[in-house]
Amino acid sequence: MSSIPLPAALQRDDHVAMEQKANRRKRMSRWFSILCVIIAFLSVVVLVVLLVSISIQGSSRLSTDLLSNAHSELHPEQAGMWPAIVGTLFVCGVCALGSLPLGIGTAVFLEEFRPRKLELRWLRHRFPDQSKTWDKLASGLYKSIRGFHSFIQLNISNLAGVPSIVYGLLGLSLFVYMFNVFGQIKVNEASGWEIAGAQHYYQVLSLESGQVVLIPQTDRTQSTLTVESPTTGVTPDGKTYEVGVWEPGSPKPTDPSVRRRTVRKGAKGGVFTDRAWYYFRLPFDRSFLAAGLTLALVILPVVIIASQEALRAVPPSMREASLGLGATTWQTTRDVCLPAAIPGIMTGAILSMGRAIGEAAPLLVIMGAAIAKSTGPQHLMDDAVTMPVLIYNWAGRQQAVYQELAAAAIIVLLIVLLLMNSVAIYLRERLSHV
Amino acid sequence: MSQPAALRNRRFRSTSTAVYSERFVVMMLASCATITVLITAGIIYMLITESWHFFTSDYVNFKQFLTGSEWSALQAKDIKDAEFGIWPLLSGTLRVTMIAMLISLPLGLITAIYLSEFASRRIRGILKPTLEVIAGIPTVVLGYFAVLVISPSLQWVSSGGFDTFNATSAGIAVGILCLPMVCSLSEDALHAVPNALREGAYGLGCTPFETSIKVVVPAALSGIISAFLLAFSRAIGETMVVALAAGTRATATLDPREQSQTMTGFIVEMIKSENEFGTVQYYSLYGVAITLFVITFGMTLLGQLIRRRYRESYE
């Protein structure tokens, strides 16, 4: 084996030491890859521990009661999460309606209407004034449009890093109080303008026990009414009638229908408000509408970034073909780019909605941590309970029964999220191969 | 729109309609984009005007706010006794965040290296969905997990050395939360390193370990650092985990076994309390929020700066 003599410089090196060094390096590499495997599978272990511990804790409370009942302080063993499920649906519906059009529009603007050199050339062609100032003006205009694009891009990356509780505070100022434009913020009292759907009455006890007459309120600042003389009352379906007054001492009317329409002289009534489902007021106050719009702000950056990536993945050759046939940029976007990007946009939308469903911090700020509500929202300005807020409230209590309920509610929430994520994955697989 | 000479003197209705609708659409889309700017402006306006009420109040001193080591906005019965010094909240936040970073940064980076350099297709097929599922878990669930599992097991290990609500269990849960984010962003950065660099390293006789640590990771460093900064700002702003698991006493210690109220935890506690709108205690939440915002905004900007300035581009 003495075919090629080693150079003198290498002959001096110690073969044994070289081999040891090589072995050490190989051993190091092997240890590192073992460490990698252990650490990488740590995440699997964590996930398994999480799921197992929660399902052990919550399995005893998983029943139809949980799905159909409302929270109850007196009978915690029968408490359920139906209002929270409905509330989550409403809040996330508003969130989707708010964030998806806005987010996809912004993504289209940033990706498809990116200023190109073409426009600068068109400007020069359109106004063939060769003077230096014009040239400077045109390129300045072009640069400022480009600057606008990159500024918005930077802004979106920054918005994605803002903590969600700060968005909650923004929603509190913007949607709940509307920066106080509609008057001084009052505690425990609604301020602002009621626009539609509200009827205010005074409720006065009639002579028939357990029955009341409704008298329309004329002055909103007066919260009680004392009946001294006959006035007009209203039936619940809007018909007016004369309310009689009974002087104590004189004989009471005997006919029940008359008694029902007669009140004692000097009887006092408090305000009662009847709200139709389309009840609308400004500012929104602590309503599910305000909460949904705030959540829309939280997930807006996520929607924009996902849609941008989907649009970027559309091959430029398709755009060029469409533009080459004489379509305008918007026609190209509408008929070529958006249809091709739909799977990606849908996936991003579903994943961001999953995030919205699990978000609790901004909702705590907007609607508070109270969960005593037995139904979903009854009108547009009604408040709501959502699943994460319910879980937060239950998990923070000391009693074991509420801890178990929290775990059971978490199982329901995770099943919903898992279903949504698998729909997203299915869509991505199915639509991207068409 | 420039037209060929043959068409120049003819008016096509469809063309001019398209031109007008094009202008309209661009206006609409640009206004969508402008709304994102307005949101930022709204956040800044809201934080400044509302915290103005706090900083100009008689009971608050800006210098004391920055340096004071006692925070008793909710504990004090009388407003005169309340102390507003941000340090206890800041140190609580930093304690939780540091523990979270100690867990998520090394583990996330090593998992990312493993996924991009070593893992076979089958293992990727297990690990990737697992990380996606962890990333999709609502934070309130992780907070419950911290209370239910992490905190009792810490107490069991240390035989009662930890409080029921402590910084460590919250930090571990936040770390679990940040792990998928660190991992996927770092993996993207590692993935962008061209194969020629790896092949060069192997050609010079490097082992896989040396290739990934000495060649690939340094080449992707700017992306990795900006992923770290993003995870850091996410951990600082994390709310539900700390609201459930970190406790409600603002203390200025460095002991991770004790309760620690974070800035976000204070905001939640304040919202839940009975303090009415317009009191100094109420406005103090905006003072905390503006501090939080400045920190996270700075982190994001720093991350983008690093990404832009130090990005190695391989074309």
Pairing assessment for the beta strands A193-205 and A268-282 based on DSSP bridges? antiparallel
**In-domain check, residue A423:** yes
The predicted model gives B44-57 an average pLDDT of: 92
Same domain, A128 and A233: no
> Which run of H or E residues covers position B123?
helix B121-136
- The residue of A19, A32, A110, A309 whose CB has the most chain B CBs within 10 angstroms, and thus the best one to mutate to test that interface, is A32
Are A288 and A89 within 8 A, CB to CB? no
Yes or no, beta carbons of B136 and A351 under 8 Å apart:
yes
> Which run of H or E residues covers position A245?
strand A240-246
A9 has a pLDDT exceeding 90: no
> Which run of H or E residues covers position A212?
strand A212-216
CA A177 to chain centre: 18
Å from A268 to nearest chain B CA?
Answer: 31
Same domain, A381 and A303: yes
Domain ranges of chain B: 16-56, 79-310
Please tell me if residue B134 touches chain A, with a CB cutoff of 8 Å: yes
Yes or no, beta carbons of A185 and B277 under 8 Å apart:
yes
Same domain, A271 and A293: no
pLDDT in tens, A171-226: 999 998 888 777 767 666 666 778 888 888 888 888 877 788 888 887 777 778 88
What percentage of residues in chain B have a pLDDT greater than 70?
96
pLDDT in tens, B155-194: 999 888 888 888 999 999 999 999 999 999 999 999 999 9
Please name which of B143, B124, B238 lies closest in space to residue B183, comparing C-alpha atoms.
Answer: B124
> What's the token pair of residue B3?
């037209």
Same domain, A314 and A423: yes
Same domain, A112 and A145: yes
Same domain, A253 and A290: no
Please name which of B180, B174, B163, B150 lies closest in space to residue B265, comparing C-alpha atoms.
Answer: B174
B1 has a pLDDT exceeding 60: no
> What's the token pair of residue A229?
């003389």
Are A49 and B137 within 8 A, CB to CB? no
Write out chain A residues lying below 8 Å of B268, CB-based.
165, 361, 364
- The residue of B23, B36, B89, B176 whose CB has the most chain A CBs within 10 angstroms, and thus the best one to mutate to test that interface, is B36
Same domain, A171 and A314: yes
Give the range of the structural domain holding residue A210, as residue numbers without chain letter.
198-275
In CATH terms, B79-310 corresponds, of 3.40.50.970, 1.10.3720.10, 2.60.40.1220, 3.30.2320.30, to: 1.10.3720.10
**In-domain check, residue A296:** yes
The contacts of residue B137 (CB under 8 Å, 6+ apart) are A50, A358, A414, A417, B177
**In-domain check, residue A245:** yes
Query: Does the ipTM surpass 0.85?
Result: yes
Residue B86 carries which DSSP code?
S
Please name which of B79, B32, B295, B139 lies closest in space to residue A414, comparing C-alpha atoms.
Answer: B139
Same domain, A300 and A400: yes
Q: Among residues A248, A275, A302, which one ends one of the domains?
A: A275
What is the radius of gyration, based on Cα positions, of chain B?
26
What percentage of residues in chain A have a pLDDT greater than 70?
93
Same domain, A298 and A384: yes
Please tell me if residue A296 touches chain B, with a CB cutoff of 8 Å: no
Same domain, A324 and A396: yes
The contacts of residue B156 (CB under 8 Å, 6+ apart) are none
**In-domain check, residue A7:** no
Residue A356 sits at φ, ψ, to 5 deg, of -65, -40
**Which residue does chain A place closest to B23, by CA atoms?**
A330
Q: How far is CA B73 from CA A312, B64, B288, in A?
A: 49, 14, 11
The predicted model gives A80-91 an average pLDDT of: 93
Tell which wins on pLDDT, B81 or B150: B150
Are A369 and B271 within 8 A, CB to CB? yes
Please name which of A254, A232, A256, A255 lies closest in space to residue A244, comparing C-alpha atoms.
Answer: A232
**In-domain check, residue A281:** no
**In-domain check, residue A38:** yes
**In-domain check, residue A388:** yes
B76 SS3 class: coil
Å from A306 to nearest chain B CA?
Answer: 14
How many Cα neighbours within 13 Å face the side chain of A31?
6
Are B87 and B68 within 8 A, CB to CB? yes
Q: How far is CA B20 from CA A152, A154, B1, B27, B241, in A?
A: 25, 30, 11, 11, 52
**In-domain check, residue A325:** yes
Same domain, A170 and A297: yes
- Based on the structure, what is the number of domains in chain A? 3
Please tell me if residue A119 touches chain B, with a CB cutoff of 8 Å: no
Q: Among residues A235, A255, A275, which one ends one of the domains?
A: A275
